[in-house]
Amino acid sequence: MRAIQIASLDGPQAAKLVEVDEPDGDGLVVIDVHAAGVAFPDALQSRGLYQYKPDLPYTPGAEIAGVVRSAPEDAGLNAGDRVCGLTMLCGAMAEVVALPADRVFTLPDSVSFEAGAGLLFNDLTVHHALLTRGRLAEGETVLVHGAAGGVGTSALRLAPAWGASRVIAVVSSEDKRAVAQAAGASDVVLAEGFKDAVKEMTGGRGVDIVVDPVGGDRFTDSLRSLAPGGRLLVIGFTGGEIPTVKVNRLLLNNVDAVGVGWGAWAGTHPGYLLEQWAELEPLLASGKVAAPDPEVYPMERAADAIASLEDRSAKGKVVVKLR
Ligand SMILES: NC(=O)c1ccc[n+]([C@@H]2O[C@H](COP(=O)([O-])OP(=O)(O)OC[C@H]3O[C@@H](n4cnc5c(N)ncnc54)[C@H](OP(=O)(O)O)[C@@H]3O)[C@@H](O)[C@H]2O)c1
């Protein structure tokens, strides 16, 4: 089969299209992959900068969508089923993958393979962030950093469905404004000066939740943008720097800085992914939440797809098409 492989830690351009053997699917769900999602960890991994470091050579990508070729009898899946699935941190960009049944989910007919390959990693992270860790309540307001990125567009799509009354997007440039608006933002502000813009928009009160996949030097202004009782959800550090927090800020304003580690939680809570999917799937199937609208790259340009997250040119979710 054809697969993308990275054989040296030289960055996204090390991702090459190669021929490899198909996986041994014994006891697993074997899937003919139509599309694979790209996420920020793929860019970090290609330089050996992510906490999880696969042995070389490895196939990048954490999520897929495709058609079941074969499944164990007790998997609840049949050959021909349209599915999406999690390889979790690598292995997705291959024409055939074999996954444990608890990481494979039936894709609603209304969701294309390209959209399906771009939804699990971010939507389940955002579900974990907003509901399990962030305690989002009906009528609350949410500010989303990196709002035109993968996690960001997920948060914009999902927060209103879970009760948010207003979702303010933060983007770095005017050309990303339209991406955030299309994903469902109520308002869009530029990263430069976002704190003052948010204060003005909220009549000085601030927001109840900040979704933060960026970190870096925005962190303190994010804490200052919270209303009393607010929660800052620490999701990632695309900005590069891991911020520190002076805890007196938490005390003075009665706010929380909340860690969000979805993969670690799923790994220690058996059945969690299935529970999450059971809450997300009806929203997608009914159209209450739109599926992602990803930028799609052909398999031959997988390296460019990964590079677009590193060089910050990606708009929305990025997906690689394999079939
Ligand atoms: N904690 C968890 O469980 C979990 C799960 C999944 C992902 N994550 C993390 O979430 C983060 C976002 O992942 P993603 O796949 O959504 O990434 P993405 O699609 O590349 O989006 C990240 C956004 O970060 C912003 N950004 C700010 N400074 C940047 C810089 N120096 N380089 C690149 N982007 C920069 C960009 O928006 P602007 O240009 O508009 O600023 C970009 O749209 C990553 O750190 C990832 O590891 C965490």
105 lines ligand 1 (CB under 6 A): no
Residue 270, preceding peptide bond in cis (omega within 30° of 0): no
31 C-alpha vs ligand 1 centroid, how far in Å?
28
Question: What pTM was computed for the model?
Answer: 0.98
Residue ranges, the chain, pLDDT below 70: none
CB of 179 closer than 6 A to ligand 1?
A: no
**How many other CB atoms are found less than 10 A from the CB of residue 247?**
9
Q: Return the best residue to mutate from 47, 238, 241 for the ligand 1 pocket (most ligand atoms within 8 A of CB).
A: 238
* pLDDT tens-digit series, residues 36-76: 999 999 999 999 999 999 999 999 999 999 999 999 999 99
What is the DSSP secondary-structure string of 73-107? GGGS--TT-EEEEE--SS--SBSEEEE-GGGEEEP
Of 38, 40, 90, best ligand 1 pocket probe by most atoms within 8 Å of the beta carbon: 40
Cβ(62)–Cβ(123) under 8 Å?
no
Other C-beta atoms closer than 10 Å to the C-beta of 45 total 25
- For the Cβ of 146 lying below 6 angstroms from any atom of ligand 1, the answer is yes
Note the pLDDT tens digit of each residue in 211-233. 999 999 999 999 999 999 999 99
Q: How many helices (H) and strands (E) does the chain have?
A: 11, 15
> For residue 159, what pLDDT is reported?
98
39 lines ligand 1 (CB under 6 A): yes
DSSP for 125-161 reads: HHHIIIIIIT---TT-EEEETTTTSHHHHHHHHHTGG
**What was the pLDDT predicted at 127?**
98
Cβ contacts of residue 26 below 8 Å, gap of 6+? none
**Which residue spans within the chain are E strands per DSSP?**
2-6, 15-19, 29-38, 63-70, 82-86, 96-99, 104-106, 141-144, 166-171, 187-190, 207-212, 226-234, 256-259, 295-298, 318-321
- CB of 142 closer than 6 A to ligand 1? no
Amino acid 62: pLDDT: 98
Instruction: Give the atom of ligand 1 at the shortest distance from the alpha carbon of 171.
Output: 40
- Structure-block tokens of residue 40: 């920020």
Residue 41 CA: which ligand 1 atom is closest? 47
- Is 262 touching ligand 1 by the criterion CB < 6 Å? yes
Q: Cα angle vertex 263, ends 244, 226, to 5°?
A: 40
Ligand 1 contact via 41 beta carbon (within 6 Å): yes
Give nearest CA residue, ligand 1 atom 18: 149
For residue 320, list its beta bridge partners: 36, 297
